């Protein structure tokens, strides 16, 4: 793949992080649907289209719902407001709103990423139960919807995942060392607790970084497939694997995959592994792009 092609793929990948590919026609149709639906639920009493537009500019489904809730509106009604507002914001995306003269930045990622996370995420996280896996999926999915960085959810994920067996053994050795050094009582307990929390945080950050990239890669590919089915992208498009080739930390697995292409829905096949989208391994820093020709 040429350098120019690689740069185009990278630019497309960056754009894919901020907005779903949708036509102006579809965005207008969804906007009109949202306006009519919300005004109908409002009862047509106090909210005009201008009021609703201003509410949308606040940027999140929750704020839209709160801004236009009628007096005495219950939780079920608010949830429905949020669902419809979220649908238009996510599908149209920031770029489409700008085309329609909405100047807000909704700061939302690809809507398919949290969907993929809730369905398939955390499958590679070991030594956890079903409840913890479900909780991790939900936490990472919500981080996409709320625009949170992996570090901001690491502690929560670490609490749900707990310590791996190797981390537990390391903690035992740490405690033995403290006792051998004469540390005891409350001081011993506090230092062990601090080290245990540090290890949980480390695991939580590993999970967060890996799962966020997993969800982003698979969600981005799903958006391309949807756009292709709708006729917005050509049928012969290929995706391209983009590794951090300028870093000494990039492993041989990712170096081997860099620049490889595959049809949408098909796996990348390398010398060491195959995967439909990044990540190739825990802590992988790769991305996915379109092989634009």
Count of residues making up the chain: 293
Distance (Å, whole) CA 183 – CA 249: 38
Q: What pLDDT shows up at residue 33?
A: 54
Token digits of residue 165: 């067996």
Query: What pLDDT does residue 207 have?
Result: 95
What pLDDT sits at residue 199?
Answer: 96
CA distance 228 to 232: 5
161 CB neighbour count, 10 Å cutoff = 22
Identify the bridge partners of residue 142 per DSSP, sorted by sequence position. none
| Cβ 242 vs Cβ 289: under 8 Å | yes
Alpha carbon of 72 to those of 14, 68, 69, 133: distances in Å?
Answer: 43, 12, 8, 38
Claim: this prediction has a pTM higher than 0.75: no
Q: Token match 């901020």: residue?
A: 18
Q: How far apart are CA 291 and CA 241, in angstroms?
A: 9
- Angle at Cα 140 formed by Cα 154 and Cα 197, nearest 5°? 20
How high is the pLDDT of residue 77? 63
Residue 94 has which token pair? 């920031």
Note the pLDDT of residue 49: 54
285, 244 Cβ separation under 8 angstroms: yes
Q: 207 near 273, Cβ under 8 Å?
A: no
* Alpha carbon distances (Å) from 261 to 13, 199, 240, 264, 268: 14, 37, 4, 9, 7
CA separation for the pair 60, 80 (Å, rounded): 14
Residue 21 is classified by DSSP as -
What string of pLDDT tens digits covers the 293 residues of the chain?
434 434 443 444 444 433 333 334 444 454 455 555 545 544 444 555 555 555 555 556 666 666 555 555 566 666 666 666 665 555 444 434 344 333 333 333 467 888 899 999 998 899 999 999 999 999 999 888 887 888 889 999 999 999 999 999 999 999 999 999 999 999 999 999 999 999 999 999 999 989 988 988 898 888 888 877 777 777 778 899 988 887 788 899 999 999 999 998 899 999 999 999 999 998 888 888 887 65
d(CA 126, CA 161) in angstroms, rounded, equals: 9
DSSP label of 258 = T
Residue pair 124/282 in contact (Cβ under 8 Å)? The answer is yes
β-pairing verdict for 238-242 and 287-290: antiparallel
What stretches of the chain show up as alpha helix (H) in DSSP? 3-18, 24-42, 49-56, 61-68, 75-99, 112-120, 130-146, 150-161, 165-180, 185-229, 252-257
CA angle 43, 55, 149 (to 5 degrees): 130
């Amino acid at each position: 793949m040429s350098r120019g092609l690689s740069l185009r793929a990278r630019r497309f990948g960056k754009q894919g992080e901020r907005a779903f590919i949708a036509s102006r026609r579809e965005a207008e149709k969804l906007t009109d649907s949202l306006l009519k639906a919300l005004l109908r639920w409002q009862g047509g009493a106090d909210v005009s289209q201008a009021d609703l537009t201003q509410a949308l500019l606040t940027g999140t489904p929750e704020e839209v719902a709160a801004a236009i809730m009628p007096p005495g509106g219950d939780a079920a009604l608010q949830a429905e407001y949020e669902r419809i507002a979220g649908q238009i914001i996510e599908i149209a995306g920031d770029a489409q709103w700008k085309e329609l003269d909405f100047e807000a930045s909704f700061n939302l990622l690809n809507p398919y990423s949290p969907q993929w996370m809730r369905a398939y995420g955390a499958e590679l996280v070991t030594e956890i139960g079903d409840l913890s896996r479900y909780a991790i999926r939900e936490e990472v999915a919500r981080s996409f919807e709320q625009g949170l960085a992996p570090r901001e959810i690491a502690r929560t994920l670490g609490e749900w995942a707990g310590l791996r067996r190797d981390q537990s053994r390391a903690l035992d050795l740490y405690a033995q060392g403290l006792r051998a050094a004469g540390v005891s009582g409350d001081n011993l307990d506090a230092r062990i607790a601090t080290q245990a929390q540090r290890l949980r945080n480390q695991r939580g950050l590993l999970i967060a970084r890996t799962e966020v990239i997993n969800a982003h890669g698979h969600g981005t590919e799903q958006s391309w497939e949807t756009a292709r089915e709708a006729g917005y992208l050509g049928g012969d498009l290929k995706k391209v694997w983009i590794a951090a080739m300028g870093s000494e930390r990039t492993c041989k697995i990712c170096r081997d995959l860099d620049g490889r292409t595959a049809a949408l829905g098909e796996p990348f096949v390398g010398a060491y592994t195959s995967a439909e989208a990044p990540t190739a391994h825990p802590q992988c820093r790769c991305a996915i792009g379109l092989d634009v020709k």
